[in-house]
């Protein structure tokens, strides 16, 4: 069911990646690639290795075997120092936001820019721009402890996009949120995909999020979220589903293919 052939220009490529801890091998030969401007949605049960795949793609973990290529670089061949520089091209949205709790929202979002010694006047502009994108500009002086779970995720997205990365990795961005807040987060991801053209890898166990990403798009002209083909236009196939099972990619395809597959495991998953 999987397609191991990786296009040469794919920003994210996993080739037979294996990873385990102690006596347990979690990933047993993962193969997939993500094409430019595409959102690949990693679906799987809890403990299936979704977060591990994201951490491998960011170079936060190294595979036991196999290759992880991101933006044309083999992460396994890079030193930790090279990886630190390299990661500045990638945005990572952690499950609970992972905001620095002793820093304000402004300091959190500006963290990477200050590390890169960007001019303070430019930092001020870019931080406000990123916070306005996630509709959190009013919270600029607040501490993460003063924010709700959904607000922390939005600040986390602002922090990930402030350096204008070409790849964004989302780790269960809607986990534990109410439906309205989840919808808001998905809209942000759609906007980031359709306005800025980022390539994304998104881990989730919420199938409705994956279908929302597949069936909707953000229209820059009307500044609205539209159903695909609603106005006769479409951005093309932008969302692909990757279902993990037993440490491997069990299914790879679009929303229609997963619905029509007739596979008993996927059917159970879709329920």
Partner 1 sequence: MATTTPHETPPEVAPASRPLTTVVNDTIKNTLLSVQDYTELAWQSIVNLVSPPFYFRDLLDQVDVIGVGSLPIIILTGFFIGAIMVLETAAQFQRFGTTALTGNAVSLALIRELGPTITALMVAGRSASGIASELGSMVVTEQVDAMRAMGTDPGRKLVTPRMVACVAVLPLLTGVADFVGLIGGFLVAHVTLGLSAAEFWHHAIDAPGTNDLIHGLSKPLVFGFIIATVGCYKGLKVRGGTEGVGRATTSAVVIASVSILASGFFLDKLLMYLFPV
Binding site for partner 1 (CB under 8 A): 19-24, 26, 47, 55, 58, 60-64, 80-81, 84-88, 90, 92, 94-96, 98-101, 111-112, 115-116, 159
Q: Least distance (Å) from partner 1 to the CB of residue 153? A: 13
Task: Residue 69: name the closest of 13, 109, 20, 23 by CA.
Answer: 13
**Helices 179-196/207-215 angle, 10° precision:** 40
Q: Residue 50, exposed/middle/buried by CB under 10 A (0-12, 13-18, 19+)? A: buried
Q: Least distance (Å) from partner 1 to the CB of residue 157? A: 13
Nearer to partner 1, 177 or 258 (CB): 177
Nearer to partner 1, 26 or 137 (CB): 26
Q: Least distance (Å) from partner 1 to the CB of residue 248? A: 18
Nearer to partner 1, 39 or 156 (CB): 156
Nearer to partner 1, 80 or 271 (CB): 80
Q: Least distance (Å) from partner 1 to the CB of residue 17? A: 11
Q: Alpha carbon of 26 to those of 17, 18, 29, 30, 104: distances in Å?
A: 10, 8, 10, 10, 37
CB atoms within 10 A of CB 97: 21
Task: Residue 57: name the closest of 81, 89, 26, 28 by CA.
Answer: 89
Cα four-point dihedral sign 222, 223, 229, 230: negative
Q: Least distance (Å) from partner 1 to the CB of residue 92? A: 4
Q: Least distance (Å) from partner 1 to the CB of residue 88? A: 4
Nearer to partner 1, 168 or 212 (CB): 168
Task: Residue 58: name the closest of 21, 28, 83 by CA.
Answer: 83
Nearer to partner 1, 40 or 61 (CB): 61
């Amino acid at each position: 069911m999987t397609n191991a052939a990786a296009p040469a220009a794919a920003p994210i490529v996993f080739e037979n990646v294996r990873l385990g801890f102690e006596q347990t091998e979690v990933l047993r030969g993962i193969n997939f690639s993500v094409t430019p401007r595409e959102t690949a949605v990693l679906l799987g049960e809890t403990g299936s290795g979704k977060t591990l795949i994201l951490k491998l793609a960011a170079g936060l973990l190294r595979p036991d075997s196999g290759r992880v290529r991101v933006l044309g670089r083999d992460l396994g061949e890079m030193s930790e120092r090279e990886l630190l520089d390299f990661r500045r091209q990638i945005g990572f949205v952690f499950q609970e936001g992972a905001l620095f709790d002793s820093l304000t929202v402004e300091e959190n979002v500006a963290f990477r820019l200050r590390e890169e010694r960007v001019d303070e006047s430019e930092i001020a502009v870019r931080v406000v721009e990123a916070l306005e994108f996630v509709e959190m500009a009013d919270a600029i002086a607040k501490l993460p402890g003063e924010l709700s779970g959904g607000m922390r995720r939005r600040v986390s997205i602002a922090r990930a996009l402030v350096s204008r990365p070409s790849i964004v990795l989302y780790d269960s961005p809607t986990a534990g949120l109410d439906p309205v807040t989840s919808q808001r987060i998905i809209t942000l991801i759609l906007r980031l995909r359709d306005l800025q053209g980022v390539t994304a890898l998104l881990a989730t166990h919420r199938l409705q999020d994956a279908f929302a990403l597949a069936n909707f798009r953000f229209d820059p002209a009307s500044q609205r979220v539209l159903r695909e083909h609603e106005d006769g236009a479409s951005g093309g196939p932008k969302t692909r589903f990757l279902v993990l099972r037993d440490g491997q990619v069990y299914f790879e395809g679009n929303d229609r293919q997963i619905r029509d597959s007739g596979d008993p495991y996927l059917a159970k998953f879709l329920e």
